[in-house]
Structure 1
Amino acid sequence: MLLVKNADVYAPESIGKKNILISSDKIIYLSSKIDFPDKNFPEIKVLDGDGLTAVPGIIDLHMHINGAGGEGGFTSRTPEMSLTDFTTNGITTCVGLLGTDGITRSMGSLIAKANALQIEGITTYCWTGCYEVPTRTLTDTVRSDIVMVDKIIGAGEIAISDHRSSYPSYQNLIHLASETRVGGLISGKCGILHLHVGDGKDGLKTLFDVIDHSEIPFENLLPTHVNRNSLLIKESMEYVKMGGFVDITTGIKNEGDSAVSAWELYIDMMQEGFSPYNITMSSDSGGSMPLFDDKGKITKLTVGFPNTDIRTIKSLIEKGMPLELSLIPLTSSPANLLKLKNKGHIKEGFDADILLLDKNFNIVYVISKGKIMVDNYKASIYGSFENK
């Protein structure tokens, strides 16, 4: 058992100073006062949360956990991520995916990596597929992947408006979205079609066509990287106004022609009066982030880092955004959209995924599934083959 005492709790809404009692991997009691019998009571480890802020663990729905890349040749393939890449940056739940390369990276290796990270201490899920359509799967279809494989919750990232995509028509995407939706209905999962959106001139046109020509609900479609250029920013605003959901990439910065940082677009969306529960954020970490010129030649190749999530939260707070609103796109919003029933909130009966932050919003402690993964600013549990 673990007791976090006297922390200022944002669940993500502010609920004041609380004691958080954890048994195994669950939060079992939240109270402003807690007393225990002097005798015959199980031993409890106590963390002093006085002066610290407790928030839900970060949920990152777009991470290349087993590496990605390759657009610059075999030497540009990015390495697999390690446990402390997640924990030291406050990520207690993630969704892994393939991306551009569905040839040298496979669904089998992705599932294996997700299982390894789960054993090491965080919660993991996966999208099935890669950029191309028809896409790569573990079983014979996307639908059966979602129904039969516990880790798989939907399909993605399927590329549109990108020179690396297979240029699927809206009819192709309607079929694929139907497959993911029905798979989700049968299995009780979110059944989302997660779309990579590139810098192409079509922007979100294919997605708007899917909405116009089908009965696929908005909650089964999630485009990402919408802050990468001015066209996508404008169209994503229109899409959310219609009732759609979008994912903003924290790893994208104010660079290139018209890309904007995640915090900047999120503030603009809040000023438009949009619900924060129509917006999620993710890092795209572990994946390569190539920049191409107008002839399709790589001019720059970088890697996405998981620290951009917590940095975005800090940036939002620095710009005057309330802490609760700053947390929602990386905690309760993805939990709700992905149907992760016991995630994204600090509540009794929910998974004990908690960050304790200091007054500067630096991570002091990370608790994942009830275990202390980061202790006094430093990793306390390491993954296989990590240097301690």
Structure 2
Amino acid sequence: MLTLIKNAHVWSPSELGICDVLIADKRIAAIEPQIEGSFGAVPVTQIDAQGRWLVPGFVDPLAHFNGGGGEGGFHTRTPVMPITDAIQAGISTMVSGLGTDASTRSLSDMLANARGLSNLGLSTYCYTGSYEYPVRTVTGTVRDDIILIDKFIGIGELAIADKRGSQLNAAELARVASEAKVGGLISGKAGITFLHVGDEASQLNIIEQCCRDHDVDLNQFYPTHMNRHQSLMEQGAELANHGLMLDLTCSTTPELVAEGEIPAAKCLAQLLSEGVQATQISLSTDANASLPDFDSHGKLRGLKVGRAVSLLESVQEAIRDGVDVDQVLMAASQNAAQRLKLSTKGTIAVGKDADLNLLCPDTLALSHVWYQGKLAMQEGKMKIRGYFDEM
């Protein structure tokens, strides 16, 4: 079956203007100013975009499919993420990590959730490991996990500059990063070392030491939560000019902002204004992670849950604040896809997966979502739901 999207204002994420887009066999078959003619006996579903923006499906480099957290006790373990959360956010590709809790949450359970979401249409990947060191794996080594398990594309989110981390040293980090890199080389995957960066004063110092004292490249690392506070962002901006990709977390709370966290849309604008290349910044949701609020003595005051829709909200906010549309869309789709070597994701081009979003240009509201050519949302109504969800 073919789908023909007519009269769409296409952002690839570069602006292509008004085009028709033909989808065939889950991929984009043609992008032309006008596509007309007969397709023989093949049925064609035609949708008139009416000038709405057709943008790449968003690529989220950090979520938590099987929940996370629990810093306030077992009753505060966050829930499993339903596919409808991703759809209503326009996210077509997500990567999951374990996070803080690798004791009551497991890599096997995360993989099961990833496969379940994939069966429903979402493109899913995972990181082996968690916050802690020594690293937990399925096969026994980081390298073998990445080589032998299709969903694993790297290790993460390994914690640095955080009291909840394992306080690993530069040599240990170099060893893990090298294992991940070799696993990626052999399997043709990114083999990335995705790092959770906490709010301690050491910030990214261990990355700098690791690259200075060991044979590890800066671009092996992919740190997230880089909008945690101004000082961390500034150190990240300096390293971005030497090749480090920076990931900004869209999920936040008023309490975290009051403590100094910079909302992702504003941090994106600030990094760009300071000369960081648009290709060096990505946006992630931290969906279904816990967002704990600790006092100065480490006592938990409250806890909220990361939201997938925060990515869409950050895209909308950044565009309304005047950030160039193509640069916002790069951060929400193309950059993470390229860094994670997901070659068919993140852009609208012939041969790429037909992961697409349709946005209303005036309100930036999301009206349609396609997962590999299949409608997941149409005019704001869900077309795909979880197995146990009511239609």
Aligned counterpart, 2:28: 27
Which amino acid in structure 2 is aligned with residue 369 of structure 1? Q
Figure out how many residues of one structure are paired with residues of the other and give that number.
387
Aligned counterpart, 2:241: 241
Shift of 1:217: 2.1
Are 1:218 and 1:245, in contact at CA under 8 Å, matched by a contact in 2? no
Aligned identity (percent) is 37
Give me the TM-score of the superposition, normalised by structure 2: 0.97
Aligned 1:263-282 pairs, distance under 5 A: 263-282=265-284
Aligned counterpart, 2:223: 223
99-108 vs 206-215, which deviates more?
A: 206-215
Shift of 1:243: 2.3
Distance 1:206 1:336 in 2: 25
Aligned counterpart, 1:366: 369
Shift of 1:35: 1.6
Aligned counterpart, 1:125: 125
Which amino acid in structure 1 is aligned with residue 68 of structure 2? A
3-state SS in 1 of match to 2:174: helix
Q: Deviations over 1:142-190 (max 9, x none)?
A: 0000000000000000011111111000111000000111111111101
Aligned counterpart, 2:10: 9
338-347 vs 291-300, which deviates more?
A: 291-300
Is 2:40 aligned against 1:36? no
Distance 1:323 1:4 in 2: 21
3-state SS in 1 of match to 2:257: coil
Are 1:227 and 1:252, in contact at CA under 8 Å, matched by a contact in 2? no
Q: After the TM superposition, which segments of 4 or more aligned residues of structure 1 sit over 4 Å from their partners?
A: none
Distance 1:166 1:139 in 2: 21
Distance 1:387 1:200 in 2: 44
Distance 2:194 2:324 in 1: 29
Aligned counterpart, 2:91: 91
Which amino acid in structure 2 is aligned with residue 368 of structure 1? Y
Aligned 1:142-157 pairs, distance under 5 A: 142-157=142-157
3-state SS in 1 of match to 2:241: helix
Aligned counterpart, 2:325: 323
Aligned counterpart, 1:72: 72
Distance 2:235 2:31 in 1: 42
Aligned 1:176-215 pairs, distance under 5 A: 176-215=176-215
205-214 vs 190-199, which deviates more?
A: 205-214
Distance 1:189 1:298 in 2: 38
| Alignment RMSD | 1.1
Which amino acid in structure 1 is aligned with residue 372 of structure 2? K
Q: Deviations over 1:88-112 (max 9, x none)?
A: 1100000011000001110100111
Structure 2, unaligned stretches of length 5 or more? none
Which amino acid in structure 2 is aligned with residue 14 of structure 1? E
2:357 to 355, 372, 388: 355
216-225 vs 11-20, which deviates more?
A: 216-225
46-55 vs 7-16, which deviates more?
A: 46-55
Shift of 1:245: 1.3
Shift of 1:11: 0.2
Distance 1:208 1:251 in 2: 27
Are 1:129 and 1:155, in contact at CA under 8 Å, matched by a contact in 2? yes
Shift of 1:374: 0.3
Aligned counterpart, 2:340: 338
Are 1:88 and 1:378, in contact at CA under 8 Å, matched by a contact in 2? no
321-330 vs 244-253, which deviates more?
A: 244-253
Which amino acid in structure 2 is aligned with residue 377 of structure 1? G
Is 2:295 aligned against 1:293? yes
Distance 2:5 2:214 in 1: 49
Distance 1:44 1:193 in 2: 43
201-210 vs 144-153, which deviates more?
A: 201-210
Q: Deviations over 1:223-280 (max 9, x none)?
A: 1101112321221122212321111111135613211111111111111222111111
Which amino acid in structure 2 is aligned with residue 349 of structure 1? G
